[in-house]
Amino acid sequence: MTTATAVIAASQVDIANFSASYGSTTAIDDVSLTIPASSVTAFIGPSGCGKSTLLRSINRLHETLPDTSSTGSIRLGGTDVYGTGIDPVVVRQRIGMVFQRPNPFPAMSIQENVLSGVRLRHHRLSKATAEMLAEWALRSADLWGEVKDRLGKPGGGLSGGQQQRLCIARAIAVQPDVLLMDEPCSALDPVSTVAIEDLIAQLRREYTVVIVTHNMQQAQRVSDQAAFFNTAGAGLPGRLVEYAPTERLFSEPAEQATADYVAGRFG
Amino acid sequence: MAVASILKSRVEVDEWRNLVKARPRTLERRRRLANAAWLTAITGGFFLAVAPLVSVLWTVVSAGLNRMDAEFFTSSMRGVIGAGGGALHAIMGTVQITLASAAISVPVGILAAVYLVEYGRGAFARTLTLLVDVMTGIPSIVAGLFAFALFSLVFGPGMRAGIAGAIALSLLMTPVVIRSTEEMLRLVPVELREAAQALGAPKYRTITQVVLPTAASGISAGVMLGISRIVGETAPLLLVAGFTDSMNYNMFSGRMASLPVFIYSQWQNKGIDAAAYDDRAWSAALTLIGFVFVLNLASRMTSHLLTRKSR
Ligand SMILES: Nc1ncnc2c1ncn2[C@@H]1O[C@H](COP(=O)(O)OP(=O)(O)O)[C@@H](O)[C@H]1O
Ligand SMILES: [Mg+2]
C-alpha cells in the first residue's frame, strides 16, 4: 500500500510559486519546479532572465542584499527553507555554492581554504582530521595531485581552473546536500572547463547539482534535466518557460521560444 | 561597384597618408613643445613640493646630530642646568602616551568601521559617517581641552596625567583609523563575503575570519598613519600631560613629558647656556622624525608581509 505523500529524498529541492525582487523590479516570477536528488539540473536562458537570482534564492543568499524580497516556497527535503524559525545560516550549511569567478580567500592557504567552511562554523579540527578532510575534499574536486605539495601556499597562486576546483573542494568539504553553481566555467579556459565538467559528472552521484550555464553544449553534456527561463525584455520579470529532461528539451522542445534559444537564434 | 568602392577607399587611404605625412613637421613641433612645457611644470611642481621638506630634514639632521649621544638617550633632565642631560623621560613619555592612545583608538576605530561597512544602514550610519568626518577636522587643541575638561570634572581641576594626554590624542587618532579601515573594508570584494556566507558562516565569523584578515595589511597601514598623525602633537599634551624634567612611568598620576613638549620647552625656556638647550631641542626633533620614519617603514613592512602571504 502506498501513502498519499511519496517519500521525499533528503536533497530534493521543490520550488513552488517562487518570485524574487530587487526593490520594485521582479527578477523572477512565479516559478515552480522540482529538482530531483542526485542529479544535475541546468538553468539556461538569456542574460537577465533571473537564473542567478533563483539560484541565490535556493540558499537564501538573495536576501543578504539590501532591499530584496521574495515570496513562495523552496523546500529542501520537504522542509521549507523560508519557513518561520529556519536560520538561513543553517540552510546555507546544507546548500553549497560555487560562483562565476573563482573566489578563494586570499588571506588563507590552500588547505585553510578547503577547511574554511568547517572553521567558519566554529568547529575545531584535530590536525589529523583536518588533513584527512582536506585530502578527501581535494581528491573529490580532482585537485589533490596538483596541490598536494603546496597545501600551505596561498590559493591565489593557482590557475583560474585550479582556483575554481579549489572553490568546489571548499564547498564540498562541509558535505552539503545540494551544490549550486552559477556559470562555474564562464571565466575559465576550455581545458579547465573540461576538468570541471568531468568533476560535475562525478559529483552528481552524491550531490544534487544545479548549474547555471550559457553554454548549450555544456548543458547537454552535464545535465540530466534542464530548465529554460526567459524574459519579455530587460527589467521585466523572468519566467520558467520549459522544464524537461535535457535530451528532450534540446531535441523536441515544446515551446517555440525554447527551440529558438537552444538553436542559438537569440540570447 | 566593387571596383568603385575599392577606388574610393584607395583615395581615402591616399588622403590619409598625405595627411599623416604632411603633418609631422608642424604637429611634431607643437607636440614636443607641449610635452616640454608640461614636463617643466610637473618637475617644477615636484621640486617646489620637495624643497621645503629637504630643507627641514637637512636642518634637523645637521643640528640634531650634535646631541645624538648615549647620554641623550639614557638620562632625563632631572637636576640638569646647562649642558648635558637627555630626553629619555620625553621619549618614554611619547612611547607610553602613543601606545595608550593606539590601545584606545585601534579597537574603537576598527569596530566603528566594521559597523559602518558591514552593518550600518540608513540615517544612523549616515550621521555617524558625518560625525567621523567632523572629528577628522577637530583642531588638536580642542581635543586637549576636551580631555582637560573631562579630567577636571572627574578628578578636580588642574589634574595632569599621561593618560589624559592619551585620551586627547586618541580623539584625534580614532577618526583616522575609522576612515582608513572603512576604505580597506570596502575594498574587500563582495564575492568573498558571499563565499563565506554560502559556506554557512554566521555574519560575525565572516567578518572576523575573512573580511578583516583580507583587509589586514591596509588596516595596519591605516593604524600607522593614525600614529604618525598623533606622535608629533604638542598642544593637547602641553595642556593635559604637562611637562616635567623627570622620568614618570605612571600614566595615571603626575605630569608626563613627551618629545614635542620637550622640544617646545627647551626652545622656550633657555637657560644661560642657550646653545645646550637648542641642541637638545634639535636632537629631540630628529628623534621624533626618526620615530615617524621607523613607523612608516614598519607599516610598509607589515603590509608587504601580509600581502605577500595572499599571493
Ligand atoms: N544586485 C542587483 N540589484 C538590482 N537588480 C539586480 C541585481 N542583480 C540582478 N538584478 C536584476 O535582476 C534581473 C535578473 O538578474 P540575474 O538573476 O542576474 O539574471 P541572469 O543570472 O539570468 O543573467 C536582471 O534584470 C537584473 O538587472
Ligand atoms: Mg547570472
Query: Which are the contacts of B223, defined by CB distance < 8 A and separation ≥ 6?
Result: B102, B106, B177, B180, B299
pLDDT of A3 reads 42
Model confidence band, residue A96 (pLDDT cutoffs 50, 70, 90): very high
Mean pLDDT rounded to a whole number for chain A:
92
Counted across chains A and B, CB pairs separated by less than 8 A come out at 85
Mean per-residue pLDDT for A233-262?
93
CA dist B262 to A226, B79, B124, Å?
Answer: 77, 15, 42
Which residues of B make CB contacts under 8 Å with A? 121, 189, 191-192, 194-202, 205-206, 209-210, 213-214, 216, 306, 309-311
The residue nearest atom 24 of ligand 1, judged by CA position, is A48
Confidence of residue A156 (pLDDT cuts 50, 70, 90): confident
Predicted local distance difference test score (pLDDT) of residue B2: 57
Q: What is the mean pLDDT of residues B3-10?
A: 59
- Tell me the average pLDDT across A54-73: 95
| B23: pLDDT strictly greater than 70 | no
Please give the average per-residue pLDDT across A53-81, as a whole number: 95
A105 Cβ below 6 A of ligand 1:
no
A4: pLDDT strictly greater than 80:
no
- Give the pLDDT confidence of A22-31 residue by residue, as tens digits: 999 999 999 9
What homologous superfamily does CATH list for B68-310? MetI-like (1.10.3720.10)
Q: How are beta strands A208-212 and A40-44 bridged, if at all?
A: parallel
| A48 CB within 6 A, ligand 1 | yes
A contacts of B214 (beta carbons < 8 Å): 105-107
Listed residue (A109, A101, A76) closest to A91, CA to CA: A76
Give the pairing of strands A225-231 and A238-245.
Answer: antiparallel
For residue B11, pLDDT beyond 70: no
Question: Is A188 at the interface with chain B, CB within 8 A?
Answer: no
Radius of gyration, CA atoms only, chain B: 28
Pairwise CA distance, residues B284 & B91, whole Å? 8
Average pLDDT of the residues in A199-221:
94
- Phi, psi values for residue B205, rounded to 5°: -70, -40
Q: How far is the CA of B190 from the centre of ligand 1 (A)?
A: 16
Task: Spell out the SS3 assignment of B23-90.
Answer: CHHHHHHHHHHHHHHHHHHHHHHHHHHHHHHHHHHHHHHHHHHHHCCHHHHHCCCCCCCCCCCCCHHH
pLDDT above 70 as % of chain B: 91
The per-residue pLDDT for A48 is: 92
Q: What is the pLDDT of residues A216-229, one digit of tens each?
A: 999 999 999 999 99
Structure-block grid coordinates of residue B213: 584578515
pLDDT grade for A235, boundaries at 50, 70 and 90:
confident
| pLDDT band per the 50, 70, 90 thresholds, residue B257 | very high
Question: Distance between CA A232 and CA B43 in Å, rounded?
Answer: 58
> Is pLDDT of B158 > 90?
no
* Nearest ligand for residue A53 CA: 1
More confident residue, B305 or B112: B112
In this model, does residue A12 exceed pLDDT 60?
Answer: yes
* Tens of pLDDT, residues B125-155: 999 999 999 999 999 999 999 999 999 999 8
Residues of chain A in contact with residue B200, where contact means CB-CB under 8 angstroms, are 89-90, 92-94, 117, 120-121, 174
Mean pLDDT calculated for residue range A136-145:
93
Atom of ligand 1 minimally distant from the CA of A182: 21
Is any Cβ of chain B less than 8 angstroms from the Cβ of A103? yes
pLDDT at A2 over 60: no
Q: Which amino acid type is present at position B268?
A: Q
Question: What residue ranges do the domains of chain B occupy?
Answer: 2-65, 68-310
A29 alpha carbon – ligand 1 mean position (Å): 13
Give the ranges where A69-183 is alpha helix by DSSP (H): 88-94, 110-120, 127-140, 144-147, 160-173
Per residue in B192-230, pLDDT tens? 999 999 999 999 999 999 999 999 988 998 998 899 889
* Per-residue model confidence (pLDDT) at position B8: 61
Please tell me which residue of chain B has the smallest CA distance to A100: B191
| Cell numbers placing A242 | 520549459
- CA A153 to chain centroid: 27
Q: Say what the pLDDT of residue B21 is.
A: 65
B297-304 mean pLDDT: 82
Query: Does the CB of A175 have a partner CB in chain B at under 8 Å?
Result: no
